[in-house]
Amino acid sequence: MRAQKSLLPSADFLPKRDISDWSALLRSSQKKAPDARLIIMGGSSYLDEYDKLLDFILQRNLQDRVLLLMNVSNPFAVMKQCDYSILSSYYEGFGLAVVEADIVGLSVVSTDITGPRGFMKKYGGSLVENSQKGIENGFEMLYNNEVKRLNVDYDEYNREALEEFESVI
């Protein structure tokens, strides 16, 4: 077992993610979860969000607990090294990050937003309030191993998606 527990939020360094909430959460949770660290991986930086987040981390001396990765060629190799994942966003489409995390074997939580809500409910996922408190609750649930893996048969899911697509064309 690794000495640290790693959390991978869905990233992309976009304002809709409000990733600074995660860094603030790690700092406030140092007593409850001293072995937790955050790995933030993204492919783009809108309006210098990467630089803003890096400054936030350095100003609060969180560099030992937060790792920023940008433009990773194989994100799944990094994902497999994590213990759990969370999708926190103000708004989202389908939420492919939830599926990707599940496929590589991570327990996953999502904030209760329109995009991933239906999928999470259908397959037994854990939703938390879309707020700082909700994110804290999701982190605590993941850290304490209280989140069950999604119950998805991806072969069946793909068949259903293909049938639905073919029915409309």
Domain CATH code at residue 48? 3.40.50.2000
pLDDT value for 160: 95
- Entry pTM: 0.83
pLDDT at 88 over 70: yes
pLDDT value for 109: 95
Q: Report d(CA 117, CA 103) in Å as an integer.
A: 18
Q: Report d(CA 114, CA 35) in Å as an integer.
A: 32
* Lowest-pLDDT range of 24-33, 59-68, 155-164: 24-33
CB 68 within 8 A of CB 57: yes
Most confident range, picked from 47-61, 88-102, 123-137: 123-137
Q: Report d(CA 146, CA 105) in Å as an integer.
A: 15
pLDDT value for 9: 72
Q: Each residue of 93-117: pLDDT tens digit?
A: 888 889 999 999 999 999 999 999 9
Q: What is the DSSP string of 101-153?
A: HHHTT-EEEEES-HHHHHHHHHTT-EEE-SSHHHHHHHHHHHHTT--PPP---
Whole-angstrom CA distances from 5 to 40, 46, 49, 146 are 14, 28, 25, 14
Q: Which domain holds residue 116?
A: 5-168
Place of tokens 């994110």: 135
Domain count, the chain: 1
pLDDT confidence of 87, banded at 50, 70, 90?
confident
